[in-house]
Each structure stands twice: as structure tokens, then as C-alpha cells.
Structure 1
Amino acid sequence: MDVERRCALAGLLCAGLAGLAGFAPSAPAAAAPASARTARATAAGPRPPASLLGDEIRRLPTSRKALALTFNAAWDVDGIDTVLAELRRRKLPATFFPTGEFAEAQPAAVRSIADAGHGLGNHSYSHPYFRDLSTAERADEVRAADEAIRTAAGTEPLPFFRFPYSATTPDAIADVNDLGYAAIEFSADTNGYLGPQGGMTVDKAVERAVDAFAPGAIIQMHVGSHGAGVVLDAEALPLIVDAAVADGYEVIDLRQFLVAAPGTR
């Protein structure tokens, strides 16, 4: 079942960044000083280009048969070792979106993601509905999450924000953009996090991902679940990758799309 895809990004210049060929884990960067942790908009590092701002991103701006794998982290860590091992075995990149509460409760898991060379986005601090928050409250959520993720990972988080529940509104997107983040959502969620008790199976999770395959597709999965230790997305991951490869797709890194110079908007 496809999620509606919208992409108003036709002007993004990705030339020269195609590939990130031969993904290899990178060493984590040193943690930023405490003074930088409270204001993400002034933190060092690559900035999202203007073409990634102004709207939610549900498909990446590319015509290539390429897709991105992403994982949210807000509950348990039951699937993270399996997910990281599979990505390592295949030498594939992924982007992880932990909440700040998750980073504080599971710092070793967040550090393991960073140590494996994967990007870390921001999924808010406490996973609220952003439509119910004021601009100041949204800023507090984003900045608190940034501080928690930065502290746990020991590296610079990406300027990518994923809304809790994917519940975006134009004013919330504008607030997140003003903080220096692109709103990276997804083309399809596997719904594996629902677990067997939510009516999901590995096959259903794979089918939801495969049905969304298209140039620039962003697949959302989770490292945990509501399934009492059953993490369907961890089991589905190799099957999703197999299907992508068989269909001629390349798994790409979201960091390819950070084409603006550091410190610019």
C-alpha cells in the first residue's frame, strides 16, 4: 500500500555526489562543546540546501533507481544488533532517527549506530504531536533531542528531522526549517513495528516496502517494536534489500543530499 508521494524539489543539483560508492563506516567525530548543543541552527557541519526546505520530503530528488533505508528508534533496542549486522554485512548505509529520550535511555545503542558510520537524524525529544505545540515548545523538543543524541553518539547529528507520527503541518515544518533542519519523512512505512499482535508479519512488512519502490523512495522501519521482542523489521531487512537489488535499485545515503556548504542555508 503506497503512501502518497510529494516532491517539490526538481531543482536540486546532486551532480558530483552520486554514489557515495563503496559505503564504509567512518570514525565518529568529536562531540561539539556544550555551548553548541542548545542551538542546532548554529552548530557546525553541513546544512540542508534550500531545495530540501519548505516542505516535507517523502521522496528524494533523483531520477535514478535509488532508495534510502531509514530506521526510527523510540522504544526498545531488540532489533538493533541484527539491523546493524545486516547493514555491515552488505556494506550498506542507513539513517537512524532516535528520540532524545531513547538516546538518554539507550546511549550505547546510539553510539553503536554512530560507530558503524551511519547518520543520525532527530526524531524529537519525547515524541509528541508537533501540531499541538507552540513554536517555542517545538524548538525545545528539537534542541533537547539534539543534545541527547549528540551526547550519546559523540558525533554531529544530521540536520534532518522526522516528525513523530509523521504528523506534519506547514507551520511546524517552517519552525523545524528555521532551526536548520530539513523535514525528512518517508515514502512508505513497513508497519513492522506493530508486531504480530498488530496483524503484521515479515511478508507484509516486505510487501509494503517493495510496493513503494520508486526512484528516490525513502523506506521507514524501526529498530524496536510493540511485539514483545519480535522485531519484524529486523527480519524483513535482508528480504527488502534482496528485492531492491533484484529490481536494479541502489541503496543510497541521505547524506548525499547535503550539498550546501557548512554554515549556509
Structure 2
Amino acid sequence: MGRGVKLMAMALLCFIFASNLAHSEEVYEWNFKPAKNNEPPTTEPHYLELLDRHDGYYIGDTDKKNLYLTFDSGYENGCTDIILDVLKEKNVPAAFFVTGYYFERQEALIKRMDDEGHIVGNHSWNHPSLPELKDEDVVTELAKVNDAFESLTGKEMDYLRPPQGTFNDRSMDIAKDEGYQHIFWSFAYVDWNPNTQKGKSYAYERILDRVHPGAVLLLHSVSRDNAEALADVIDDLEADGYQFQSLDHLTGKSFFPID
């Protein structure tokens, strides 16, 4: 074997080793530590380091009673129009993180979200665990959603909610290179199974029990409980001095509240 061939073989082995090393990086699942008495939660120190490095967010200013309402929208269950009706009536902004399902089957809902001033964010095309994909597959998952949104609205997406809540330094780095900011959350409850809904009062109590200044609330748009409770949640939180803001307010893209 000639020297040139040996060098090429060594380079190939190094590439394979580096690739395997990258894909063996630990996969994290987002979590936070809830607090009592409507105090803000905390999360893992190394998660905070990753958020800082990649310009991500999970919570706003905890000294101000701003709230950021976000919905994960993996598929449609007949509740999204109800949610949008409430948001329009109450003049409240929200963000909807959508998958490819919506562009294949529910384009009218995407258009309505955008037309009514809500942020539409990227939740990937197929909802895979991004850190478990190859680099090029992460790019493809995000690009397919953004391209479909741009084709429909003429706009590009700025925010990413990682599917399954999984992430690591590599997946966050790729997303940042693609122009995204990660948006995690500081409030969530078990609301994503449409077969185990517990009623409007249950959703209302869960939300008001753990809401806190600066909260990024994660709700699922498949939940009928959320849809039915939303109007009362908004009314009572606003009566308590909270203001609902856009994610652009959270990230500093806009410094003014929605009128």
C-alpha cells in the first residue's frame, strides 16, 4: 500500500471515528424543577450553559409578570380553531410549533395562525429526536418545514421547539447555524393524550397552580381541556396582573407588548 493510499485510509478512519463520536454524544431530555407558590422553576446547570451558548430560552424575566403562551401542534384534533377563536377574542398572541402534518393536511390553520399575528415555529417535519439524527438529516427535518412555511406565507421561521424535548450541543449548534433559537418551557403538564382528558377545571387548576412570572407555557393543541379552559385562564391571569406577550418580546426581537 502506497503512502498516499495509507494517508487516505487514515483520514477515512478519523472521519468515521469523529462521526461516531458525534452521534454518541449524550442526548438530553428537557426538564425543569417546579416550585411552589407560583415561584419560577429551575433547571439543570448544564442546560443553562447550553441555552446561553446557543441563544435559547426556557423562561423570561422572573421579576415581571409576562407570560409566553406556546402550543405544540404535532397533529390536529379539532381544537386548534377553538384555541384560535379564544386568542382572537382576547387579543392574546401565541406561538404554534408545527410539524409536517399541518402542511400536508391543515394548511388553512397555518395560514390562519399567521394571518392573525401568531408566531409559527418549527417542530420538525416528522417529529424525530433531532440529536439522534445525522447532521444532514437534522437540516432536512428543519428545512422541509421552513420551506413549506415560506412557500405558504412568504416568511421564514425563527424559533424551534425540539421534538420530544430532546437536544444536545450538536443538535442545538446545527439549529443555530440554520437560523433558529431554541424555545423550551418553564411550565407544562400532562395534556398531550386526547384519550385521557380530565376536563376544563383540571386544565385550569394545573395552569393557575404553577404559572409564574416570566413563564413560557407549553400546552398541546390536541387537548380539549386546554381549548375549553383557555378563555378563563386568560381572563383570570390578566386580572391578576399578568400580560401575555409574543416570543419576539422574550427574545428581544420586539421590545413592545402586543396591543
Shorter chain as normaliser: what TM range?
Answer: 0.7 to 0.9
Instruction: In structure 2, give the amino acid aligned to 1:235.
Output: E
Alpha carbon RMSD of aligned pairs, Å? 2.6
Q: State the match for 2:212 in structure 1.
A: 214
Pair 1:74 & 2:74 matched: yes
Show structure 2 runs of 5+ residues with no match.
1-32, 36-40, 46-50, 255-259
Asked which structure has the greater RCO (Cα within 8 Å, sep 6+), the reply is 1
Give the 5 Å matches for 1:126-165: 126-152=126-152, 154-165=153-164
- Give the Cα separation in 2 of the matches to 1:200 and 1:148: 35
- Give the Cα separation in 1 of the matches to 2:201 and 2:34: 16
> Are 1:188 and 1:208, in contact at CA under 8 Å, matched by a contact in 2?
no
Instruction: In structure 2, give the amino acid aligned to 1:144.
Output: K
* 60-69 or 108-117: bigger deviation: 60-69
Q: State the match for 1:194 in structure 2.
A: 193
Which of the numbers 30, 34, 48 marks the counterpart of 1:2?
34
- Give the Cα separation in 2 of the matches to 1:109 and 1:220: 19
> Are 1:193 and 1:233, in contact at CA under 8 Å, matched by a contact in 2?
no
Task: Note closer, same or farther for the CA distance 1:66–1:147 as it changes in structure 2 (3 Å cut).
Answer: same
- Give the Cα separation in 1 of the matches to 2:52 and 2:93: 20
Q: State the match for 2:222 in structure 1.
A: 224
Task: Note closer, same or farther for the CA distance 1:7–1:255 as it changes in structure 2 (3 Å cut).
Answer: farther
Pairwise CA distance, 1:215: 1.9
Aligned length: 212
Instruction: In structure 2, give the amino acid aligned to 1:166.
Output: G
- Give the Cα separation in 2 of the matches to 1:179 and 1:168: 15
Task: Note closer, same or farther for the CA distance 1:103–1:260 as it changes in structure 2 (3 Å cut).
Answer: same
- Give the Cα separation in 2 of the matches to 1:79 and 1:201: 14
Task: Note closer, same or farther for the CA distance 1:99–1:89 as it changes in structure 2 (3 Å cut).
Answer: same
Pair 1:249 & 2:238 matched: no
Pairwise CA distance, 1:52: 6.5
Structure with the higher helix share, 1 or 2: 2
Pairwise CA distance, 1:155: 3.8
Question: 1:60-84, CA deviations, whole angstroms, 9 ceiling, x for partnerless residues?
Answer: 2453111011112111151122111
Per the normalisation by structure 1, the TM-score is 0.71
> Are 1:63 and 1:215, in contact at CA under 8 Å, matched by a contact in 2?
yes
In terms of Rg, which structure is larger? 2
Per the normalisation by structure 2, the TM-score is 0.73
Report SS of the residue matched to 2:192: helix
Show structure 1 runs of 5+ residues with no match.
9-50, 226-230
- Give the Cα separation in 2 of the matches to 1:210 and 1:55: 28
- Give the Cα separation in 1 of the matches to 2:212 and 2:80: 26
Question: 1:66-108, CA deviations, whole angstroms, 9 ceiling, x for partnerless residues?
Answer: 1011112111151122111111111111111111232222111
Report SS of the residue matched to 2:54: coil
Task: Note closer, same or farther for the CA distance 1:232–1:260 as it changes in structure 2 (3 Å cut).
Answer: closer
Pair 1:114 & 2:146 matched: no
- Give the Cα separation in 2 of the matches to 1:53 and 1:96: 24
- Give the Cα separation in 2 of the matches to 1:5 and 1:110: 33
